[in-house]
Chain A
């Protein structure tokens, strides 16, 4: 099997088009199941009552915001090292979805903070570093589109994305390294401090967010490919047909 077969934009365009709907179907099914578990099956929390149910959106989106940045940075690394075309397009396709998840995590966090902590926002290490992540995504999107030649935009933005990777461990470990208003992690590599039904709902919602992110990226990368390859013969042929 030729592993580089699908690294050509034209073949990946077809593959992405065929796969994307399946990821969206999976995302919808998992989200329906996850919301059913989270909103109807899971018990209320002893301390917070029903307010804690924001967790079923908040934590999966926050996880995805960090994970997508990592994946985007990996593609950026590939772009800089191998000068491959598709990796840069994938990084561009991931960025808006990552920024969206970051925004949702911050937004739901604010509405969770108000009734529990007593405030929408505080400048503690966790909240601030997650806000920096949103700025990194916006900076990446802006910089990658700031050049006449898109390949130069790719390289400049890739460098920014790689530098921003430093922020990821800061976000993740901020609640351990410093005292923050944000509580510690409920789920870590060592175990969990969550009731099992609550945990299941949260993990199912995370899987849904994962599937959505893949589907959205595949759809977006198709438009990026078309735009970039508009002068290529295969795109003209497809347009003529």
Chain B
């Protein structure tokens, strides 16, 4: 083999080995790389008990209740199967809305309520003018729901 062929083989081989190693490492860390847990995982107690974690899902329609102090709000986060009651005191992001994606950070209290210290809105990857969104809504298209479920391995 010519020296440059040898070098090419070494580089391609090295990169392939590196790729396999990276794939194995990422696969091993799979469960630690998730940004949030789903309400189903919370219900099954597959979440950290002694430290803060994030729960993500959709804000269940009709569950958002503002308390008298106007800063405390309670709502339920759902993934379609299970739902987790959340209580949060603070300013909500603009995109926080019933039926839309949300990620809350905190921990589950003794009463089973998730006490959030931070609430983030998660929007989907659809961009369309308001008229188009309205038309879709009237046609009964469950847009937000299926897009949220589309992430994290359960893609359609």
Q: Taking beta carbons and an 8 Å cutoff, which residues of A are in contact with B? A: 43-48, 52, 55, 77, 80-83, 115-119, 122, 124-125, 162-163, 165-166, 170, 175-181, 183-186, 193-195, 198
Chain A residue numbers with a CB within 8 Å of B150 are: 184
Chain B contributes a number of interface residues (CB within 8 A of A) equal to 47
Given the known A-B contacts A118-B119, A193-B127, are A81 and B7 also in contact in the complex, defined by CB atoms under 8 Å?
A: yes
Q: Which of A44, A166, A176, A178 is within 8 Å of B155, CB to CB?
A: A176
Q: Known: A45-B128, A48-B123. Is A179-B36 also a contact (CB below 8 A)?
A: yes
- Whether A178 lies near B34 (C-beta < 8 A) is yes
Query: Which residue, of A47, A115, A162, A195, has the highest number of chain B Cβ atoms within 10 A?
Result: A47
Knowing A179-B36, A184-B150, the reply to whether A195 touches B128 (Cβ < 8 A) is: yes
Chain A interface main SS type: loop
* Residue ranges of B at the interface with A (Cβ–Cβ < 8 Å): 4, 7-8, 11, 14-15, 18-19, 22, 26, 30, 33-36, 38, 56, 92-96, 100, 103, 118-134, 147, 150-153, 155
Instruction: Select which of A82, A117, A194 is within 8 A of B121 by beta carbon.
Output: A117
Q: Which listed residue, A81, A177, A185, A186, touches B8 by the CB 8 Å rule?
A: A81
In the complex the two chains form, is B94's CB within 8 Å of A46's CB?
A: no
Q: Give A184 to B118 CA distance when docked, in angstroms.
A: 22
Please name 14 further chain A to chain B contacts, defined as beta carbons within 8 Å, in addition to the given A43-B129, A43-B131, A179-B36, sorted by A numbering: A47-B126, A115-B94, A116-B123, A117-B95, A118-B118, A125-B33, A162-B15, A177-B153, A179-B35, A179-B56, A180-B35, A193-B125, A194-B127, A195-B132
